[in-house]
Structure 1
């Protein structure tokens, strides 16, 4: 039975405490719940009091005294002062003596008055100049871990370190001639940097601010929380880092008495978040254990669950015992992430006291997530075709640049959760970006410098918030589709934010689901800014939509989606309104019309097949239409019509890959039905089991699961049943999904050129720039 005997109630601001099981022995669950409720009740700052006392009896034989103080009136130093005075009062009463009661001669108001006098004098001006010099340049906020899954509420846990670690830490501090707290702060900054890869960390730490001898007996919040800039270049040694922190601590202590608001208003801190990261060191100096008269007393450690900082590390050295309370906000860490951070902190401390102080910190405390391993894991995800990863040592975290898979959707939350299963509950801050293709250098390697420049240029435009519900819906969908970590303004452009054709199609599909209606072709072509798309939606809703397409014609909405998808593709259209996009159009050869999935495939074929070969890309119907036989046939008929308009006469050269090869097959059938000669049809990674009388060049990847030799015992007989003897079968290097990457693209275009030249030798076409393609323009 648990009975409350006394309670002071306050409301509004929450400060919660929770008993740790190892410190509370066999307390029943009811006791834990009662302590949690009493500690969680908020305070009424306007009316007070800002502390309360609850006394409980457990089972009629044990007494628990719970004291809860608001941080405005109580700091860590006050705890021992208060506990000592309380023990003295209770002991005097239990002995029958009159307890000493009186007004303290020196109080927190005296400290505040002293601070104001000093700040107004010459020393105050010197301190202001020091803070201006220290933070004269803009400083980034501290980067924080990314939790794979957000916790339900703020959390706190205490990590106990091995007993020998406190003494080893003090010994290392003595060798370096610095206070032990400097080593603890260095460990905190190094541990955070190992997770976030940030190399310039803004760390806040409290200083005791008890300069006067009389202040040692004052109960109140006298601490001053000051910002420190901790530079962590990989080549710096542990001695460099710790010595630098110690110098800054001593200097900041001399200039700590200015109001915190004045310090953080310094130009370099004006835009920085100073509530992100805090680390503190406290030595318990109580000489004797508590005693309430003749009553046996044991102090219980209670940790609050709310967090003043997004991430706070409170080191506490109590004789040989060393622990750290890790407090975090819900969006930073979950329980598993906090435990992982505690383990990493212990490993960092151990490395600091056991390894040489002259070792570079890059080898002493390596990052927890390797950039190359992160890239490899992303590529292994079914929703990602290609990926590159860049680090952001200035602002912290990593940027993952990805080419999305056409068939498997992946959201940023899904990727973060998936990576958490690979790396654990402690991830660096991750920024995901989707690109239509990764930029390449002249050698074909991913151009990381271009990606870093893209990263540096993001998020610098002025923000104008959405003005109505439609704009807010669009902005929210864009933020999710583009995987952005900041809100989107009404005048921001979809493509300038990083949007491309695949994301446009997916976003428009999600928009239709959200609105519960199909969008007309007019709306699909208005993919500019949030405001422009919203205006088109409002106008579209008020108008009657056009009649359905006549039988045998491509649906106008499908055509509009294809145009929206390919609107950002580079190249030249054969005529206004065409879906097909051309490259190498100064080449003399008859053009190749290739049906494919995305712009990357088109660019790679055009780049490697040679400048003398014009190439037109015709996008498949993936994610823009239901892949029914009827729709495929209508799309093929449409492309056949575009080809007829672009090249009215002469033999045709048509091809396609994967599912787009099926469309290419039907384009060739429609062209032949219209009386055109198709000199060659190339089907890459697809054997279409339908009759076709023209020449066919089939091609499969050696390592592909679509390779005809894997599923057919006699490929020649299988193909002969449909293509007579008018076909060839080639095997090129690579697996499915790799063919448009280097070096596999070289093998693919070599096959296309070889089969093209064989046909040209049988049926030569004049190769003068004014013939074939050139004359028809």
Structure 2
């Protein structure tokens, strides 16, 4: 090139550095010169890490200067023929590894990592699209204080560097056992001091970081681990990775190390003025690497990161934390103990709840694996996908966000006192990842990928995995089935909507219908689209169908009591009713018309007639026990009317939080929440007198809770206790009537 400016030179150098090597055929180094002007040349030397470590750099430059001087003087370069070469060192090292010292080292690594060690947790940057690096200098006073501390504590400087990087990472992720891979120089042999090659040994160091722990104690423990690892380094990396506790651990997550530059002098090439230029390749070997490099009076650090771990702002923030942590370790200010996490779980939960697509959010911390687990109840009207929510978190938590795993539920599990059951939530994140059976057809692959997206999974979905067992619930099922119809460009058959099983089962139902199309069975009074939505909503409800294609879902069906048929809105209400009424009480759930159809009198009556026919088919004889809550109570009322018109006895109808202003001469039990705005005593001095205009035989009871909160603890205990009381009174009346 002609006269080039620095930007052009940097670009040319970066092109050379970024070009990959052919490892299979070599060579594993390259060089070229760039003519940058009449009296300016740039010599570019690029070495693959397999043949060149940081220690080799200074050796190579020294020998290059000697060779240049000799050639300039007109004679052959003077190289010490007796010097050990890298292949000589490798042969010596293999001999050590195969001998008693190697056997002892293998035993030590097995004992050191007997228990399973978690992989290192790393920050999460939703918007990060490319690998990157940040190089920065630390204050000279930090280096001076660090060297003094190292001498006084008899710890290597590398122990401070590793400990500081681990503490900084702990402050982001909360992880309390951090696995840091660090390069051991491996040049304590006198002959190895002059070897050019890659002699380093990469060793995993476990750093324990507890909140409030004394920083100097973390350094001391790290130093002991570092000395022990160095003493037992003469084994292959594969032997170390084979230790019981490391077999399932990702060792390429986090690397940190300390390197002392042997010389800061600029190359001396005869009478040519030369200066060293350092270039950095774009790709990184570890997901996150923190490399310290020290000279006589200079300390720098380079943070290299993969896309998705950090971006430029996150790396800058991490550098600040690293700088302050190291300063505190060497007594230059700050606390002498581990500070609290940068982002507490409560702050993550608050940011999630602020999103309009999230109704409820609870975040549980797992300090063992260093991740937060966020359990969400999604809003059924405002849809949000995982990537959008991650981006939202990034905007609200700043540039260095902790890693978060997501799960969605139809409702949060609660204990009997109404508090969220955090132990149950933690279990959602403890399951070991299974090895999925890959999908076998294009349709199965489409379904599996869609499930992965809808269920917010970070792994492939197997063809034998079930939607509900993967965390699917009614809202997600409806969204998934709608998306699947759009992608396939066709309506799904009834068989696919009746019961949502595995990927293979759903694909099979779709393919069978494609081969022999089936027409949906016409249902009098119920729109075909509404029926399809009802099937979609109930496709993942846990329980048993009384017959193929039924909308009814039963639980506790081994119980011997008169079954309760209850109209409700979602699967959690059915689950809670069945749980607290007890195993001896069979319960069948029917979904309301919410988000399914317009709630006109004609639609409600048609749906009630449909459910009445399913109930009659499920329980063809005997007295019936019905109920419903809120708007679903209106459907339950008309179900009872249709059944009675068909000659069936409805022994008891429970209407919770709803008065249906139509005449009814059967037995009705009305229940309302004491704190509910539906409580009839809030609007009437004598609601019994007003209700007597419609109902001949009725009771009114108040239960704990406000509207919409009756199926959560502790309110559900009061509601089901009242239902049991009314049920037992009904059973006594039926028994008396039979006795008479």
TM over 0.5: yes
1:619 and 2:591 equivalent? yes
Please give the secondary structure, in 2, of the residue aligned with 1:376.
helix
1:351 pairs with 2:328: yes
Q: CA, structure 1 residues 384+84, in 2 after alignment: closer, same or farther (shift >3 Å)?
A: same
The alpha-carbon distance between structure 1 residues 536 and 118, as it changes in their structure 2 partners (threshold 3 A), is: same
CA distance in structure 2 between the aligned counterparts of 1:602 and 1:295, rounded to whole angstroms: 85
The C-alpha deviation readout for 1:14-43, integer Å capped at 9, x for no partner, is xxxxxxxxxxxxx45433332222221222
Residue equivalent to 1:434:
408
- 1:310 paired with 2:287, answer yes
Query: Which residue does the alignment assign to 1:333?
Result: 310
Are residue 217 (structure 1) and residue 194 (structure 2) matched?
Answer: yes
- Per-residue CA distance 1:292-311 (angstroms, 9 max, x = gap): 34444333332221111121
Corresponding residue SS for 1:256: coil
**Structure 1: runs of 5+ lacking an equivalent:** 5-26, 709-714, 717-722
Q: 2:447 aligns with which of 469, 474, 482?
A: 474
3-state DSSP of counterpart to 1:72: coil
| Residue 461 (structure 2) aligns with | 488
The alpha-carbon distance between structure 1 residues 159 and 261, as it changes in their structure 2 partners (threshold 3 A), is: same
Whether the 8 Å contact between 1:562 and 1:619 is mirrored in structure 2 is: no
Partner of 2:136: 159
Deviation readout 1:388-420 (Å, 9 max, x if unpaired)? 333333333122223333333333222222211
Distance 1:483 1:294, change over 3 A: same
1:55 corresponds to = 33
Q: What is residue 241 of structure 1 aligned with on the other side?
A: 218
Answering whether residue 216 of structure 2 is matched by residue 253 of structure 1, we say no
Which of 347, 351, 354 does residue 373 from structure 1 map onto? 347
* RMSD over aligned Cα atoms: 4.7
Q: What residue in structure 2 maps to residue 383 of structure 1?
A: 357
Match of 1:170 in 2: 147
- 1:333-732 map, 5 Å: 333-354=310-331, 361=337, 364-460=338-434, 463-546=436-519, 549=522, 552-555=525-528, 558=531, 561-562=534-535, 565=538, 568-569=541-542, 577=550, 579=552, 595-603=567-575, 617-622=589-594, 625=596, 627=598, 634-639=606-611, 641=613, 656-657=629-630
Contact 1:520 1:557 (C-alpha < 8 Å) held by counterparts: no
Q: 2:120 aligns with which of 122, 134, 142?
A: 142
1:444 Cα deviation after fit: 2.7
Does the Cα contact within 8 Å between 2:216 and 2:329 map onto a contact in 1? no
**Contact 1:311–1:326 under 8 Å retained in 2:** yes
SS in 2 for 1:446: coil
Counterpart-to-counterpart distance in 2, 1:205 and 1:485: 28
Shift of residue 642, structure 1, vs aligned partner: 5.2
Distance 1:436 1:772 in 2: 39
State yes or no: 1:299 paired with 2:276.
yes
Q: How has the CA–CA distance of structure 1 residues 509 and 575 changed in structure 2, closer, same or farther, with 3 Å as cutoff?
A: closer
Cα 1:583–1:255 change in 2 (3 A) is closer
Post-superposition shift, 1:98?
4.5
The 2-side partners of 1:2 and 1:702 are apart by 84
Q: Specify whether residues 378 and 547 from structure 1 end up closer, same or farther in structure 2 by C-alpha distance, changes over 3 A only.
A: closer
Q: Are residue 278 (structure 1) and residue 278 (structure 2) matched?
A: no
Q: Distance in 2 between matches of 1:43 and 1:481?
A: 40
Distance (Å, rounded) in 2 between the aligned partners of 1:412 and 1:735: 32
Say if 2:288 and 2:304, in contact at 8 Å, map to a contact too.
Answer: yes
Q: Distance in 2 between matches of 1:31 and 1:572?
A: 73
Aligned length: 723
* Whole-Å separation in 2 of the counterparts to 1:653 and 1:263: 65
Q: Is this contact kept in 1: 2:629–2:657, CA < 8 A?
A: yes
Q: CA deviation at 1:204?
A: 1.1
User: What TM-score, normalized by structure 1, do the two folds share?
Assistant: 0.78
- TM-superposition CA deviations, 1:308-354 (whole Å, max 9, x none): 11211111123333222111222433333333332332232233234
8 Å CA contact 2:524–2:606 kept in 1: the answer is: no
More off after superposition, 65-74 vs 397-406: 397-406
What SS does the corresponding residue of 2:396 show, helix, strand or coil? Answer: helix
- Cα distance, 1:514 vs structure 2: 2.3
Decide whether the 8 Å contact of 2:569 with 2:591 is kept in 1. yes
Give the 3-state SS of the residue equivalent to 1:39 in structure 2.
helix
Match of residue 103, structure 2, among 118, 125, 129: 125
Alignment of 1:9-24 (within 5 A): none
Partner Cα distance (1:156, 1:257) in 2:
31
Distance 1:414 1:743, change over 3 A: farther
**Post-superposition shift, 1:373?**
2.4
Contact 1:206 1:226 in 2 (8 A): yes
3-state DSSP of counterpart to 1:257 = coil
Distance between the aligned counterparts of 1:346 and 1:701, measured in 2? Answer: 58
Post-superposition shift, 1:499? Answer: 2.9
Contact 1:640 1:670 in 2 (8 A): yes
Once the 2 structures are TM-superposed, how far is the Cα of residue 182 of structure 1 from its aligned partner? 0.3
Q: Is the 8 A contact 1:573 1:582 kept in 2?
A: no
CA change 1:221–1:521 in 2 (3 A) is: same
d(CA) in 1 for partners of 2:487, 2:525: 31
Using a 3 Å threshold, how does the CA distance of structure 1 residues 262 and 609 change in structure 2: closer, same or farther? closer
Counterpart position of 1:78: 56
The answer to whether the 8 A contact 1:581-1:618 is kept is no
Distance 1:291 1:400 in 2: 59
**1: CA distance, partners of 2:379 / 2:707:** 12
TM-score, normalised to structure 2, is 0.82
List per-residue Cα deviations over 1:206-232 (Å, max 9, x = no partner): 111112223222221111112222233
Is contact 2:126–2:308 with CA below 8 Å preserved after alignment?
A: no
Alignment correspondent of 1:771:
734
